[in-house]
Structure 1
Amino acid sequence: MNTLALSETFGSDLVRGIGAILLYGVVGLFLMFIGFYAIDLTTPGKLSQLVHRGLPNAVLVTASGLLSMAFIIVVAIFNSASDLTGGLITSLVYGLLGIIVQVVAVRLLEWATRIDVGHTIEQEKFQPVSVVVAAAHLALGLVVAVAIS
């Protein structure tokens, strides 16, 4: 007769895994908040207010900025150290550094292309140049994420 048996460490491994998911979730959420506020502080205008007003360019730029931050955070967590404490610290440090590099790189690219982001995101009607800003966020987010790996 075959019996299915769980390993002796199944319960403790399961609890440890659940704890790791929760802790990495907290680190990821914290980094997303930091990333949003970094974008908000370095972008002309108050993004959260412009998004709430439903301004399409502000929504596009903010959404792409958040996605770019998520790329960075996901890669930082994925490439973190194998032990939980080291992994959390590595994720936090790489995530924060990645956010800083992302914000600076996007602002430099906007400066180099002479895009007036403040004017663009405050427009009531869709402005095609907002797609360029969104693409810059996503592209640079991917570059920074790969640099972390």
Structure 2
Amino acid sequence: MLVALSDTFGSDLARGIGAILLYAIVGLVLMFIGFYAIDFTTPGKLSELVRSGLPNAVIITASGMLSMAFIIVVAIWSSSSDLAEGLILSLVYGLIGIIAQVVAVRLLEFVTRIDVRSTIESEKFAPASFVVASAHVALGLVVAVAIS
């Protein structure tokens, strides 16, 4: 049995692979920006605290990255089917989502009066880290849905 491919199969495949790579680059750039936004707005140097194995810093950083991923995935998913427009929309929606996420989490931390610095710098597990982590994930989902 012979399978016939369309005349445009090769070019469609190449265009699809190119789109995947470009969206992956946009997603990676947004994840870096998201991490540095969390790091910049959180007391202490998160990457150093995580490398030191401080449990609360790991929990809060991981939840922050997960929340950023929700926002970025939905920004990409909601983008236009036109590649150039889709990439631009993904980048813009992703950046706005990251800003909204960071502001919302910091406001929630202010309202709950959690001392984030002492929480993330503690060598012992602090239950408050789950409150901050939950805020990251919950607000990341809210912002992601707002994008869609």
- Residue 79 of structure 2 is matched in structure 1 by 80
Residue 13 of structure 1 corresponds to 12
Aligned AA for 1:42?
A: T
Alpha-carbon distance in structure 1 between the residues aligned to 2:105 and 2:122: 20
Q: CA deviation at 1:4?
A: 1.3
Hey, what does 2:136 align to over in structure 1?
A: 137
Q: What is the match of residue 105 of structure 2?
A: 106
Q: C-alpha distance in 1, partners of 2:3/2:23?
A: 32
Q: Give distance in 2, aligned partners of 1:117 and 1:13.
A: 49
Secondary structure of the structure 2 residue equivalent to 1:34: helix
- Give the match's secondary structure for 1:50: helix
Residue 114 of structure 2 aligns with which residue?
115
Residue of structure 2 equivalent to 1:28: 27
Match of 1:42 in 2: 41
The alignment status of 1:147 with 2:146, answered yes or no, reads yes
Aligned to 1:62: 61
For structure 2, the residue ranges without an aligned partner over 5 or more in a row are none
TM-score by length of 1: 0.98
In 2, Cα distance between equivalents of 1:14 and 1:80: 20
Residues in 1 aligned to 2:2 and 2:60: alpha-carbon distance in whole angstroms: 56
Unmatched segments (≥5 aa) in structure 1: none
Q: What is the CA RMSD across the aligned residues, in angstroms? A: 0.6
Deviations 1:74-125 (A, max 9, x none): 0000010010000000000000000000000000000000001111000000
Aligned-partner Cα distance in 2 for 1:128–1:114: 14
